[in-house]
């Protein structure tokens, strides 16, 4: 009888240990994404608000991860020409690295994406002074812009995540309590559909965008100079040597800014006899899109001959800022130990034109009480 009891107890212990081990394995599977990210590395508290990592998937096996710290896209796993999943955006594998160095990797940018001259805006005769964090100008909403804020998660499932943020009156100098909603949806045609909404209780300006750094080769150690770029634009907005738009809208015809025919990014990027490329140390400019706000019209494409992955961009915005990672300098070590060096990524930021509030002839960025700001950007992936 004692022997049977001992055997029963031993068997119970074995079953219990086996069960615990099995549950631990299941937990590890749940907590680790296809891109190798561990969700617990994104779970912390910043300024009293909790952060996490949210995983979107579709029927094709594509995966997108998003953190509510900065409303950031952290990873985008898409199939290459051989059917292998590749992560095509830059970023970090934990929250601490995102906090350690001021960066815009994958972030939702606001209240005003891009630059505002001398950090000043004038709204109905009232001048507002904003933080000057880039050559005397305000860049991407200032140093405490949305990329450094924790968004509230209104909804999250396998297909979409809905983020909200209340930008209070006077935050970074901007007027009005701005209630922002950002919806990121992964569709079954391998597109990330980003929709922005905002309402205000006071006249203000709004220009929200996403600042993902794309490397379509799937290896962020690689240059993007061989990638092929198309921009559906007959003109662009030139800048001065402080990266501020001059107010001119110039034709791309006959210049290195002409990407109406797909062209390798590196083909003309170092043509510093052309002043605009010298100013930007490459491409860091806003193109005036031919799409007239029609989100069904193709705005831009990037294609990696190495992976076969193509990115198409659609938007209802009048412009797209194309930045070729000219100021990445190898100091940031990202996911998979990749060294983020010069021109190892391209950004395509759909937007109002830079400094629009100070250039009244350009499409307005104003938002009034009772109106709703709506902006949309679609990043669609395929194999060419």
Domain assignments of the chain as residue spans, ordered by start? 39-200, 217-383
39-200 and 217-383 in the same fold:
yes
Q: How confident is the model at residue 5 (pLDDT cuts 50, 70, 90)?
A: very low
Cβ–Cβ contacts within 10 Å for residue 84, how many?
11
Is 146 in a helix, a strand, or coil? helix
Identify the pLDDT of residue 31. 72
CA–CA separation, 286 vs 350, rounded Å? Answer: 9
CB 214 within 8 A of CB 310: no
Average pLDDT over residues 282-297: 98
Model pLDDT for residues 257-269, shown as the tens digit of each residue: 999 999 999 999 9
Average pLDDT over residues 242-254: 98
| Active site residue ranges | 211, 349
CA 51, distance to chain mean position in Å, is: 18
CA angle, residues 162, 369, 161, in degrees to nearest 5: 5
The CATH code of the domain at 39-200 is 2.70.98.10
pLDDT beyond 80 at 4: no
- My answer on whether omega of the bond before 297 falls inside 30° of 0, hence cis, is no
Pairing of strands 72-79, 63-67: antiparallel
CB 97 within 8 A of CB 42: no
Q: How confident is the model at residue 17 (pLDDT cuts 50, 70, 90)?
A: very low
Strand partners, 57: 63
**Would you put residue 255 in left (φ > 0), alpha (ψ -120 to 50) or beta?**
beta
Average pLDDT over residues 146-162: 98
Q: How many CA atoms lie within 13 A of 280 on its CB side?
A: 25
Mean pLDDT of the chain: 93
Identify the pLDDT of residue 21. 43
Identify the pLDDT of residue 10. 45
Identify the pLDDT of residue 20. 44
Identify the pLDDT of residue 287. 98
Q: How confident is the model at residue 301 (pLDDT cuts 50, 70, 90)?
A: very high
Identify the pLDDT of residue 11. 43
Q: How many CA atoms lie within 13 A of 304 on its CB side?
A: 27
Model pLDDT for residues 28-51, shown as the tens digit of each residue: 444 789 999 999 999 999 999 999
Q: Return the percentage of the chain with pLDDT > 90, whole number.
A: 91
Model pLDDT for residues 173-189, shown as the tens digit of each residue: 999 999 999 999 999 99
CA–CA separation, 304 vs 83, rounded Å? Answer: 15
Lowest mean pLDDT among 6-10, 30-34, 124-128: 6-10
Q: How confident is the model at residue 293 (pLDDT cuts 50, 70, 90)?
A: very high
Model pLDDT for residues 305-363, shown as the tens digit of each residue: 999 999 999 999 999 999 999 999 999 999 999 999 999 999 999 999 999 999 999 99
DSSP state of 214: B
pLDDT beyond 90 at 13: no
CB 140 within 8 A of CB 104: yes
pLDDT beyond 60 at 65: yes
pLDDT beyond 60 at 26: no
Backbone torsions φ then ψ of 98, nearest 5 degrees: -65, -35
Average pLDDT over residues 203-217: 98
Identify the pLDDT of residue 153. 98
**217-383 is classed CATH 2.40.50.140:** no
């Amino acid at each position: 009888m004692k022997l049977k009891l001992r055997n029963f107890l031993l068997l119970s212990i074995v079953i219990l240990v086996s069960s615990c081990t099995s549950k631990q394995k299941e937990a590890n599977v749940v907590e680790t994404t296809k891109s190798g990210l561990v969700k617990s590395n994104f779970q912390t508290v910043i300024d009293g608000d909790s952060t996490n990592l949210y995983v979107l998937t579709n029927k094709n096996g594509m995966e997108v991860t998003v953190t509510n710290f900065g409303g950031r896209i952290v990873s985008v796993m898409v199939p290459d020409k051989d059917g292998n999943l590749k992560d095509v955006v830059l970023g970090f594998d934990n929250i601490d690295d995102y906090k350690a160095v001021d960066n815009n990797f994958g972030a939702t940018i606001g209240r005003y994406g891009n630059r505002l001259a001398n950090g000043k805006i004038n709204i109905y005769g009232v001048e507002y002074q904003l933080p000057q964090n880039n050559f005397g100008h305000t860049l991407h909403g200032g140093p405490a812009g949305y990329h450094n804020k924790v968004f509230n998660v209104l909804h999250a499932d396998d297909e979409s995540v809905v983020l909200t943020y209340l930008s209070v009156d006077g935050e970074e100098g901007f007027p009005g309590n701005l209630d922002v909603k950002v919806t990121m949806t992964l569709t079954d045609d391998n597109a990330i559909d980003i929709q922005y909404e905002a309402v205000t209780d006071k006249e203000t300006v709004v220009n929200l965008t996403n600042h993902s750094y794309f490397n379509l080769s799937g290896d962020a150690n690689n240059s993007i100079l061989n990638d092929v770029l198309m921009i559906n634009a007959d003109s662009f907005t030139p800048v001065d040597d402080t990266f501020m738009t001059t107010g001119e809208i110039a034709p791309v015809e006959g210049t290195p800014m002409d990407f109406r025919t797909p062209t390798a990014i590196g083909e003309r990027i170092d043509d510093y006899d052309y002043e605009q490329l010298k100013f930007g140390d490459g491409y860091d400019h806003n193109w005036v899109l031919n799409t007239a706000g029609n989100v069904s019209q193709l705005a831009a494409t990037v294609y990696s001959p190495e992976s076969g992955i193509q990115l198409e961009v659609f938007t209802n915005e009048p412009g797209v800022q194309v930045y070729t990672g000219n100021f990445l300098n190898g100091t940031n070590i990202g996911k998979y130990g990749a060294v983020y060096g010069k021109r190892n990524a391209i950004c395509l930021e759909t937007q109002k034109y830079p400094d629009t509030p100070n250039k009244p002839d350009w499409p307005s960025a104003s938002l009034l009480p009772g109106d709703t700001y709506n902006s949309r950007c679609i990043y669609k992936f395929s194999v060419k």
